[in-house]
Chains A and B, each alone.
Chain A
Amino acid sequence: MNTNLAPTYKKLFGENWILWFALSNSYSIIEPEFNLLLESYLKSSSNADFSTMISNNINVLESESISETLFNYLKDCNKPYISPEIDSIVLDTSKRHISKQYDFKGQTIQIYYDTELVLKTVHPALSYYCTEIKNEVSATFDIYLKNDDLFLFKDQQLISQVSKHKYHLMQGKFIMQLLCTLHNKEENDWIGTFHGSTVTDGNSSILFVGNSGKGKSTLCALLTANGFDLLADDVSPMLSEDNEIYYNPSAISIKQGAFNLLEPLVSNFKDIPIVKFNKTKGNLKYIPCTKPKKDHYPCRSIILVNYKVKSETKLEPISVKTILETIIPDSWLSPNPLHAKQFLDWLATLEIYQLTYSDTQSVTNEISKLFKQLNKKV
């Protein structure tokens, strides 16, 4: 019954099932008992048939209530996914007040900004690539503010128009387009962009996730100061072609709260200019990182980061449910069924942990150990 509402994919992770619904691009995590009832519901020919199936110890009213809950659940899982529409707006070239070029080893990107404030949404994380030498450009971006909306154009095509208060969505679109240009891909080649930072040891990579202020970027800065390479900070893109995480050139953004911790550990930290952008985040520093040898690495582990003052370093396995509850609402995941399947298949191969830390040396040792363990498995 209502089989048109059934999940497109389902996969068992330990005891829990993860379902994916194509119509809504939503993921659902259910327990084995729920799965049993849902399967019975979907395979029943009618409410009466379902009622018979579960009737021995459940009365009619209770069975109707279960049936209704399952139907409402399925309806919620099938709310149609509507892709955001983009208007066709003509680029206003009179807004080109500030011009910057960025050289990413052979590929040059031109960006025009209208004001210093708008420049601060994108430039500080890429400032290390800024060049005075005029090269032939691979792509031209325009970013400006007009009537309280932020506009992003790539090669004169409107990519994003958002309220200025949602500037992080413009930043996300910009990074996506930058990645497409640098890696010679289209937006629909990507499985998703995870909200988290990825570090590599040259063989594989680990994705660090966690809420704002939990020390993801600080940990990545620590690790890069100890022989690892940053693959991506804040936005970690995964490509469908090879299921690997790709290089994002943005520098690591560090909040003022972590300055003291990192100063003795990151070379020339004192000389890194302070960027004042955001009232609550306060001062920021962007740490430049050496590009890893390759553009992309397989990711074999996700770690939920939890910086806790004076805590011992602890790396504990956690459930896929906990990690998905952290990742999915903060990440863009492609609605393409192939990509959703790839995402689920990839999840099944991962080692998933929570890391509690405060001591910088022991956390580095712990991550080194984990990388060795992950590489051995391959």
Chain B
Amino acid sequence: MKKDNNIDKITRKEAIQKMGKYAALTAVGTFVILNPLKAQSSSPPDPGGDPFD
């Protein structure tokens, strides 16, 4: 198991080296975080379309 982890580590290291400096520095800026609604909802009103205004 330990051996496998080492192989994993070496493979990852090699992959990071292969990626190169520029790719590694830009890669960390490329993520998306999405949060679902905390409660069920139907379609929200369009801007200015609130009937309770």
Given contacts A278-B49, A279-B48, contact A173 B39 (CB under 8 A): yes
Question: Is A195 in the interface zone, CB < 8 Å from B?
Answer: yes
Find out whether the CB atom of A278 lies under 8 angstroms from the CB atom of B34.
no
Query: Which of A32-40, A128-136, A221-229, A360-368 is near enough to bind chain B?
Result: A32-40
Query: Which of A68-76, A95-103, A198-206, A266-274 is near enough to bind chain B?
Result: A68-76
Find out whether the CB atom of A34 lies under 8 angstroms from the CB atom of B28.
yes
Find out whether the CB atom of B51 lies under 8 angstroms from the CB atom of A332.
no
Question: Is A117 in the interface zone, CB < 8 Å from B?
Answer: yes
Find out whether the CB atom of A28 lies under 8 angstroms from the CB atom of B41.
no
- Residues of B within 8 Å of A324, CB to CB, are 34
- Residues of B within 8 Å of A65, CB to CB, are 25
Find out whether the CB atom of B28 lies under 8 angstroms from the CB atom of A172.
no
Find out whether the CB atom of B21 lies under 8 angstroms from the CB atom of A58.
yes
Question: Is A169 in the interface zone, CB < 8 Å from B?
Answer: yes
A37 to B36, CA, bound (A): 26
- How many chain A residues touch B (CB < 8 A): the figure is 67
B47 to chain A, nearest CB (A): 7
A280 to B28, CA, bound (A): 41
* Cβ proximity bits A161-192 to B, threshold 8 Å, 1 near / 0 not: 00011011101110110000000000000001
Question: Is A317 in the interface zone, CB < 8 Å from B?
Answer: no
Find out whether the CB atom of B33 lies under 8 angstroms from the CB atom of A28.
yes
Find out whether the CB atom of A328 lies under 8 angstroms from the CB atom of B35.
yes
Question: Is A146 in the interface zone, CB < 8 Å from B?
Answer: no
Find out whether the CB atom of A168 lies under 8 angstroms from the CB atom of B36.
no
Question: Is A281 in the interface zone, CB < 8 Å from B?
Answer: yes
A235 to B37, CA, bound (A): 13
Residue from B8, B21, B32, B50 within 8 A of A62 (CB atoms): B21
B6 to chain A, nearest CB (A): 11
- Residues of A within 8 Å of B9, CB to CB, are 43, 53
Find out whether the CB atom of A33 lies under 8 angstroms from the CB atom of B24.
yes
B21 to chain A, nearest CB (A): 5
- Residues of A within 8 Å of B49, CB to CB, are 278-281
Find out whether the CB atom of A164 lies under 8 angstroms from the CB atom of B52.
yes
Find out whether the CB atom of A280 lies under 8 angstroms from the CB atom of B36.
no
* Cβ proximity bits B22-47 to A, threshold 8 Å, 1 near / 0 not: 01110111111111111111111111
A110 to chain B, nearest CB (A): 21
Question: Is B16 in the interface zone, CB < 8 Å from A?
Answer: yes
A53 to B10, CA, bound (A): 9
Residue from B13, B27, B29 within 8 A of A53 (CB atoms): B13
Find out whether the CB atom of A332 lies under 8 angstroms from the CB atom of B19.
no
A145 to B46, CA, bound (A): 21
- Residues of B within 8 Å of A302, CB to CB, are none
A/B interface sample: 10 pairs, CB < 8 A? A30-B31, A33-B23, A36-B12, A37-B27, A57-B21, A65-B25, A165-B53, A168-B45, A279-B50, A332-B40
Q: Which residues of B approach A to under 8 Å, CB–CB?
A: 8-9, 12-13, 15-17, 19-21, 23-25, 27-53
